[in-house]
Structure 1
């Protein structure tokens, strides 16, 4: 399968390498002029959840094939797009005239209605999901991160057998297990407010990495997320359908304590938080801004989130 990864960031590099190792033909589309800026090969220090129940640290190098142009006749079968939700519409508009009929996998937070978020790419052409990976680049260019064994995928509308099958096959062949989500819209909106809870608390602690082992901070994050559930209920999300994902907000103290312990003793849990740095970066700021704006438009009070944003 010929796979196009948009960019050469953390998510694109981690999954791009996994696809290439599985025998796929992988190329990375980067902005004009960026090819010369990247240091190759890319050194990767990744805790890999596909390698045992608690993951295994792997130190490898990856030499991604970079290109600065893409055209519909390139023969791409699958496009993987993972950007901040505030960049998604711009990225979709860029890709639409360049990818033909390729299946598009969008990995990451989405807050707009799904069809709007990916326009002008037809939503029927898209499979949505969330990456089980994160990390950052060190001063020497090394990618430090972690990747879980599982990944969540779903579709805004019932995709053709080809769309769903292509997306699932690519990840399975690369050693990942798939969780198929029937209500991907609701799942993504719920994940968004859970992230908002975590990011709001990260403002107080100086970053998610500083929440490793901090039971109180994690408890407060889930309490803030609970405050935000009415925001997505107002958008038609059936929380009962996602009761397992909602559970941490129902019992924030217990969940915070359990997750706090897990981030200390479980390498994968620790690496997942430690992979995130500056809470003032563009994506956390955009998550907090957009959920606050929607809450206000719906007339829903969010005092905990407001206090976190204003530092009191």
Structure 2
């Protein structure tokens, strides 16, 4: 099982007791990857964006298991205007911001280094060379082990990696984008601010370069199970893919969610899955295997 635990609601809509229980069970079940950000969940009334990291920090301190987990967090998307529930005042990716944001995340998490540190969103107001250089400085200082780009266009990712290569800096080796078995209509604008969808070009690029692809909204926020599909997924391809998904799930005695996660993992993609209860987590910890024929059937419908 190679999934990352998404922790957006920890410390707000999911209290400490439940958050700790979920984290405990995730690790007990073989999970090691924990994904957060320095702004989760700032968009909720009364939240600051500290809550998720701070909750994980309390859990790490109480369990003493820092070496057993991989901590992934992000910078660049934290609002600078109190009460702003949008990304309009996002802190950005300047060298000064990155240095301060890393220190703040390390303090909230109670750790001495971040395993994977991501540029959360693009910031085209800052020279890319400055951003890539600032991430390299954090790696050189031992505060960060690996760096990644979240919600970046493929051409910007390539340009950043080329800059890193030309300077001998640490390159982005992790990529985080939105992706699932079902896909929205081509060209549709997603309502979630800042979300960038995986494309065929993305998949070609990360596979050719040997990059680590993590994907969020991998289970469409519950739409495979009980919630209605977002309007952006209303097109003929969705109906065809759902029919095959249901056939495969029935043959395996699995749920749609379990098959989707297995389908992603057969492609060496790491799904980020968020849960708010132990029951939800138990479903996702169940290991489902797809043989080549089942994988081919899932891939076939357009």
- When the two structures are superposed, what TM-score results if normalisation uses the length of structure 2? 0.29
* Bigger fraction of residues in strand: 1
Structure (1 or 2) with the greater helix fraction: 1
Provide the TM-score with structure 1 as the length reference: 0.28
